Amino acid sequence: MSLASFSPLGNNPNSVWENYLSGKSYIHPTVIGNKNVPAASLSKALVVEAEALRASNLNYKHLDNSVLFALLASRQAVQNAGWGEDDIFGVNIGSSRGATDLFEKHFTEFLETGKSAVQASPATTLGNISSWVAQDLKSSGPDISHSITCSTALHALLNGVAWLRAGMADKFLAGGSEAPLTPFTIAQMQAMKIYSSREDEYPCRALDLTKTMNSMVLGEGAAMACLKLGHLPNALAYIEGIGYATEVLQHSVSISADADCMQKSMLMAMKDTNPADVDAVVMHAPGTIKGDLSEYNAIHKVFGSNVPLLTTNKWKIGHTFGASGLLSLELAVLMLQHNYFIPSPFLPQQAGRPLRKILVNAVGFGGNAVSVLVSK
C-alpha cells in the first residue's frame, strides 16, 4: 500500500509528518464569499501547484479544485507505488460535495442570465473526479465514483478491498477529495449551528469533551491509497480488518448517543483481533458536541476498561468531508511508521508501548460508519 495526500499539511510524507509534530493548528481566519470564518485552506505553494496543473492542459481549464487536488494526490500515490502505464488498476475516488465551487458559479450565472455554460454539466457531475483521474493516469481498469458523505473515502477503500478479494482487480487506487470552502457550503454548516465561531488558537476543538459549543471547521484536500493483496516488501502498512454499518436514524444529521453504527463497524473490523491488541484509534471526531461524545461513548462500549489511545486530526486540518477518512488513515500509517503517537491537545496522551495496530473511524450524515484496522 502507498499513500499520498494534498492538504493543508503539505503534499509529501516528510512535510506532513513534520506538521503533525508541530502541535499547531492549520485553521486560520479565511474570507469566503463576504464572510470571515475559520477554515483550513491549502498553503500558497500548493494553490500555485494546483493552478499550474489547471494551466498545463486545456482539458483541465474547466475542472473544479476537487478534481485538481485528486489528480495531484493520485499521481503521487501511483508514483510511490511504482505503478506504470502498463499496470491495470481500478480507481474509486469519492467526494461528499463534488465540484461545489464550480456548481455555485454556474448556478449563479444561470440565475443572472437564464443560460448555462457548455461545461456546466460535465464539469460538475459526481463521477467527474474518478473519470479525470483515470484519464490522467491512463488507467484501463474500472473507474467508480460515489458519495457517502463524510465516510466516502473509507467506503472507497472498502470497495477497493472487495474488488481485490473478489479477484476482479489486481491493484486498486482508492480515496477521496474535497474542496468545500465555498460560501454556500459554509452557510449550510452554519445553518445547522455546528460551525465554529471561535477566533482563538484552536477554532476546532475536536476531542474536547468539555466544550459547550459546536466547533466544526471545514478544510480542503485529497488523499489516496494504492492497494494490493499480499505481503509486499514495500508496503507502508497492512489492512487487517474492515467494518461498516448503518443505523436507524432519529434525525437526518445525527447518530445515536452511543453511536450504534460505529460500535458495529469497529467490532466488524476487529473480528479476528483481540481489542486489547489495538494500540490507538484515530477518531472521526468532527468537533461537534454530540458527534465527538457519541463516538467516545461507542469506543468505551466496545473496548470496556481497555480503551486505546485516542486522537483525531480535525483540530489541526478541519473536516475535509469525503476526504477525511483517508487523511485519518494517513495519520495512522505515519504513526505506525514512526512509532510515535500524535495526541489531540484536548486529550493529551502518550504511548506506553510500541504502536502496532491502529483503528481508523469515519461516519457521515445518514449514519454510515466505516472502520479500518491497519497494522505495521
Domain CATH for 283: 3.40.47.10
Percent of the chain scoring above 90 in pLDDT: 90
pLDDT of the residue at 72: 98
Percent of the chain scoring above 70 in pLDDT: 98
Q: Per-residue DSSP letters for 36-52?
A: EEEEBPPPHHHHHHHHH
Q: What is the pLDDT of residues 206-255, one digit of tens each?
A: 999 999 999 999 999 999 999 999 998 889 999 999 999 998 766 655 67
Q: How many separate domains does the chain show?
A: 2
70 — pLDDT class (breaks 50, 70, 90): very high
Strand order in the sheet with 309-311: 238-246, 368-375, 357-364, 280-282, 309-311
In a domain, 223, yes or no: yes
Residues spanned by the domain of 181: 2-228
Q: Rounded mean pLDDT of 313-322?
A: 98
Q: Which of 289-293, 320-324, 366-370 has the lowest mean pLDDT?
A: 366-370
310 in the same domain as 256: yes
Whether pLDDT at 196 is above 70: yes
List b or e across 223-262, with b for residues whose CB sees 16 or more CB atoms inside 10 angstroms: bbbbbbeeeeeeebbebbbbbbbbbeeeeeebbbebbbbb
In a domain, 233, yes or no: no
Q: Rounded mean pLDDT of 169-195?
A: 97
* Whole-number Å distance between alpha carbons of 235 and 112: 52
Q: Rounded mean pLDDT of 156-162?
A: 97
Spatial CA neighbour of 81 closest among 35, 137, 32: 137
* Whole-number Å distance between alpha carbons of 231 and 235: 7
Radius of gyration over alpha carbons of the chain, in Å? 19
Q: Are 374 and 360 in contact (CB under 8 A)?
A: yes
pLDDT of the residue at 251: 60
pLDDT of the residue at 90: 96
In a domain, 73, yes or no: yes
Spatial CA neighbour of 211 closest among 312, 284, 291: 291
Q: How far, in Å, are 61, 62, 105, 294 from residue 57 at the CA level?
A: 7, 10, 21, 46
Q: Are 222 and 7 in contact (CB under 8 A)?
A: yes
Whether pLDDT at 92 is above 90: yes
Whether pLDDT at 86 is above 90: no
Last residue of a domain, one of 228, 257, 276: 228
Whether pLDDT at 316 is above 70: yes
244 in the same domain as 212: no
Q: Are 324 and 150 in contact (CB under 8 A)?
A: yes
Q: Ramachandran region of residue 350, left (φ > 0), alpha (ψ -120 to 50) or beta? A: beta
Q: Are 27 and 39 in contact (CB under 8 A)?
A: yes
* Whole-number Å distance between alpha carbons of 47 and 186: 20
pLDDT of the residue at 44: 97
Last residue of a domain, one of 180, 202, 228: 228
218 in the same domain as 73: yes
**The pTM is what?**
0.96
Q: Are 114 and 194 in contact (CB under 8 A)?
A: no
Q: Rounded mean pLDDT of 308-323?
A: 98
Location of C-alpha cell 485519518: 328
Q: Which of 37-41, 69-73, 361-365 has the lowest mean pLDDT?
A: 361-365
Q: Which residues have CB under 8 Å from 299's CB, separation 6+?
A: 262, 266, 281, 283, 307, 308, 310
Q: Per-residue DSSP letters for 189-241?
A: HHHTT-B----SS-S--TT-TT-SS--B-BB-EEEEEEEESS--TT-S-EEEE
pLDDT of the residue at 254: 64
In a domain, 187, yes or no: yes
Whether pLDDT at 369 is above 80: yes
Q: What cell numbers appear for 173 in the block?
A: 487506487
Q: Which of 34-43, 243-252, 277-286, 294-303 has the lowest mean pLDDT?
A: 243-252
Q: Rounded mean pLDDT of 76-86?
A: 92
Q: What cell numbers appear for 98 in the block?
A: 463534488
Q: Rounded mean pLDDT of 83-99?
A: 93
pLDDT of the residue at 252: 56
Last residue of a domain, one of 207, 228, 249: 228
85 — pLDDT class (breaks 50, 70, 90): confident
224 in the same domain as 242: no
163 in the same domain as 273: no
* Whole-number Å distance between alpha carbons of 136 and 224: 15
Q: Rounded mean pLDDT of 297-311?
A: 97
Q: Are 328 and 280 in contact (CB under 8 A)?
A: no
pLDDT of the residue at 253: 57
pLDDT of the residue at 126: 81
